[in-house]
Structure 1
Amino acid sequence: MWRHVAANGLTFLIVALFLLVGVVSWGAGQYRAPGPLAEAICFEVPQGANMRRVAQDLEAMNAVSSPVLFRMGADYSDKSGLLKAGSFRVPEGASMESIVDIVTRGGRSTCGTEVIYRIGINRTTVDVRELDPVSNQFVEVASFDKDEDAAPEGYLSVKDEIGTSFQVIVAEGATSWQITDALGKIDVLEADTTEVPPEGFLAPKSYPITRGDTVSGVLDDMVAEQEAIMAELWPNRVNDLPINSPEEALILASIIEKETGVAEERRQVASVFVNRLNQGMRLQTDPTVIYGITQGEGVLGRGLRQSELRGETPWNTYVIEGLPPTPIANPGRASIEAALNPDTTEYIFFVADGTGGHAFATNLDDHNQNVARWRAIEAERADGG
């Protein structure tokens, strides 16, 4: 009899094991299978939420078929403790496995409202935009000049909301004073410093920020980014450049940055200055004169006077030999690359050509002809032609 009971028990255990394996296999399949979501949504994970709360919210939005399986899958993959607060785009038909990955992988929010502070040469603008999860395209909510316009309701209503993300975009060629001043006026940052970093040592690019970050912390990030760029690019410079240090490379790059906004001619402009330095010619570039007047604190807002072109400042390259003592702005990566890898040309002159770019010349006669053409264009525009 006991043998019969043992045999029945073993049979029961085998059946139970097969059933368990089948249930686990079914659950794993459901966890990885396409979900019921009919169209993409923005899903918000509140600060302090747990996986149970998230699973319930996802079920209410018809994004998951089983909150229990969702939690079990998150636990099994050791991701339950990695939940990140924010607003995330969940695509149509997303599996429970992919949703767990979306809400635990970290990084910036991928959905919801985004506020962008654009620090430019002349002004700081603010753009508020919201992602349409279905089209995966941003829709503009508000846009205004930070210094001249009153903040619109479209900005005031979202800047303190949980889930709103922020970024600062710094334009190439902005000065350290302009950047520091603009950061101090951004109301989601803590204005803990007015100390201006050295000119040229802030990398112009996009930086994610969060409410409560400090101005000094954002500036530190910009310095670290510029240091990383220089550490990468300086060892790969071409031979026989008339610059002897990364600091001098930043000076030259800043002049290139201020002289042209046309990406395709940066290396040509760089070749002019490299040729002039190699030949012992003065650089004679207007942006350095302007920096000597403004010290980077704002824009001049008018043309240069002849007395200013002759005036002696450490930055006036019509007067001094070689490079000025500091950069005159914060150059972007492309201008640094141009300074370290200029085109090989014989150009020693350039002047505006009326198209936004420049006409280059290897000798004074050709340059004077280019200047005459530019003056004619200026005169025609002044006459309204």
Structure 2
Amino acid sequence: MSEESNKTTRPAFLKWASFFLALLVLVAAILAYTAQVRFLAPGPLQQDVSVLIPRGAGLEKITGLLEKAGLLEKEGIIDDALIFQLGARYTQRSKNLKAGEYLFPAQVSMDQAIAILESGKSIAYAVTIPEGKTSQEIVDILLAEPALEGTINQTPQEGSLLPETYHFVRGDSRQSIIDRMQADLTRTLQDLWDKRQEGLPLKSPQEALILASIVEKETGVASERPLVAGVFVNRLNKSMRLQSDPTVSYGITLGKQPLGRSLTRADLKALTAYNTYTIDGLPPGPIANVGRSALEAVMQPAATKYLYFVADGTGGHAFARTLKEHNKNVRIWRSVQMK
């Protein structure tokens, strides 16, 4: 081929090369624009759905990201894993996606889905532990909670847990809730002990906890607790036995299960370490796990001269200063029971 022919062919080749390059750039721009539109557009999800992104799935690796996209596709949140992947990488958020359980709203876009995974704001659950439960009962409650995982190392010491509503995310361990309850009890008990009323017949925070557990089991009426605590404080000051029925029940069951029956005269005479009809002073340990209200009542008991109380048939109690008054209240209570 002549030199003149080469000169003619070269401009034509460059012309076509430039054309195809421009075409490729145009196609790439169109594809990028289309992907961006799809990335930001409302997604296919028809109704809100929660998805669990498991721990240890390699979120910082491309395979981990694809795994997440697969989960989202399976739930109908996205319909193109590749665009989801490219969008996460292009916006430099692919390494920020976190494990957890997330709620995705209907028509959530891919961009919004990534933001949800990036936030780490997992769906919050709550378990409420009622006041006055024994440690074994609390363990049973936590074991029955399906959103928690794992076992509990051992049944905690009676009275070492603070009943409250505890929030957690799916996959948290049951033992972690126990640990939080114990830490909360320790902190709350010390704080209230430091602010206690002067002159209480209690030598330590532990003794206050024991008495609070008795108050907790004696009444479920919050407004009565300072008065009930005042009665027990008066009895301790006078070296009178506490004569609390819940301590008798605990001495029989040791908190492993409910007694399931009424107390008998024989029960009241039983020689157990917890029977405050037969022992002086406080029992050796708490008989339940107590809430803050009962602890506050013991640390700040009502100033009263009452020494006795009995159920009044309305959910509360009738209080008395003398045994004569108390026996009268007992007769009234028995007549209510017979109706």
What TM-score do the two structures reach when normalised by structure 2? 0.69
Equivalent of residue 109 in structure 1, options 123, 130, 144 = 123
Number of residue-to-residue matches in the alignment: 288
Query: 2:102 corresponds to which residue?
Result: 87
Report if aligned partners of 2:251, 2:273 keep a CA contact under 8 Å in 1: yes
CA drift at 1:306:
0.9
AA partner of residue 202 (structure 1): L
- Partner amino acid for 1:81? N
Contact 1:39 1:93 in 2 (8 A): no
Residues 1:103 and 1:256: Cα distance change in structure 2 (over 3 Å): farther
| 8 A Cα contact 1:199 1:328, kept in partner | yes
Query: How far off its partner does 1:51 sit?
Result: 7.9
SS class of match (2:286): coil
Partner Cα separation in structure 2 for residue 250 and residue 335 of structure 1: 9
Matched-pair contact (CA < 8 Å) for 1:277–1:283: yes
Aligned mates of 1:240, 1:246 — CA distance in 2: 14
Aligned to 2:228: 269
CA contact (8 A) 1:74 1:100 kept: no
8 Å Cα contact 1:176/1:197 also seen in 2: yes
Q: Does 1:249 align with 2:208?
A: yes
1:197/1:44 Cα in 2 relative to 1: closer, same or farther (>3 Å)?
A: closer
Where in structure 2 are the equivalents of 1:16-31 lying within 5 Å?
A: none
- Which of 224, 246, 256 is residue 287 of structure 1 equivalent to? 246
CA shift for structure 1 position 249? 1.3
- Which runs of no fewer than 5 residues in structure 1 stay unpaired? 1-30, 111-164, 381-385
Deviation at 1:377, TM superposition (A): 0.6
Q: In the alignment, residue 294 of structure 1 is paired with which amino acid?
A: T
Q: Does 1:206 align with 2:165?
A: yes
User: Structure 1, residues 40-80: CA drift from partner, whole Å, max 9, x if none?
Assistant: 834536344678967x969x869xxx989x859975xx896
Change (3 A) 1:197 1:321: same
Check if 1:41 corresponds to 2:75.
Answer: no
- Structure 1 residue 218 displacement after superposition: 4.0
Structure 2 unaligned blocks of 5 or more: 1-39
Equivalence for 2:289: 330
Q: Aligned partners of 2:190, 2:91: CA distance in 1, in Å?
A: 41
Q: Is this contact kept in 2: 1:88–1:103, CA < 8 A? A: no
Equivalent position SS for 1:202: coil
**Counterparts in 2 of 1:104 and 1:302: CA distance versus 1, 3 Å:** same
The reply to whether residue 222 of structure 1 matches residue 237 of structure 2 is no
| Higher alpha-carbon Rg | 2
CA deviations 1:332-368 (Å, max 9, x no partner) are 1221121112222222211111111111222223322
The structure in which a higher percent of residues are strand is: 1
SS of residue matched to 1:350:
strand
Matched, 1:302 2:261: yes
Letter in 1 for 2:123: S
**SS of the residue aligned with 2:247?**
helix
Does 2:333 match 1:374?
Answer: yes
The verdict on how the C-alpha distance between 1:347 and 1:209 changes in structure 2, with shifts beyond 3 A counting, is farther
Question: What does the per-residue CA deviation read over 1:126-168, in whole Å, with 9 as the maximum and x for residues that have no partner?
Answer: xxxxxxxxxxxxxxxxxxxxxxxxxxxxxxxxxxxxxxx6x54
Given that 2:306 and 2:320 are in contact with CA atoms closer than 8 Å, whether structure 1 keeps it comes out as yes
CA contact (8 A) 1:90 1:102 kept: no
Per the TM alignment, residue 36 of structure 1 is displaced from its structure 2 partner at its CA by 10
Q: Report deviation, 1:253.
A: 0.9
| Whole-angstrom distance in 2 between the partners of 1:227 and 1:238 | 19
Residue 247 of structure 1, CA deviation: 0.8
Structure 1 pair 101–200 and aligned structure 2 pair: CA distance change class (3 A): farther
Q: 1:270 to 1:108 in 2, by over 3 A?
A: farther
* DSSP 3-state at the match of 1:240: coil
Shift in Å, 1:199: 1.0
Q: Which has the higher contact order (CA 8 A, sep 6+)?
A: 2
Contact 2:122 2:169 in 1 (8 A): no
Letter aligned with residue 343 of structure 1: A
Decide which structure has greater helix share: 2
Q: Which residue of 2 aligns with 1:191?
A: 151
What is the deviation of 1:103? 4.2
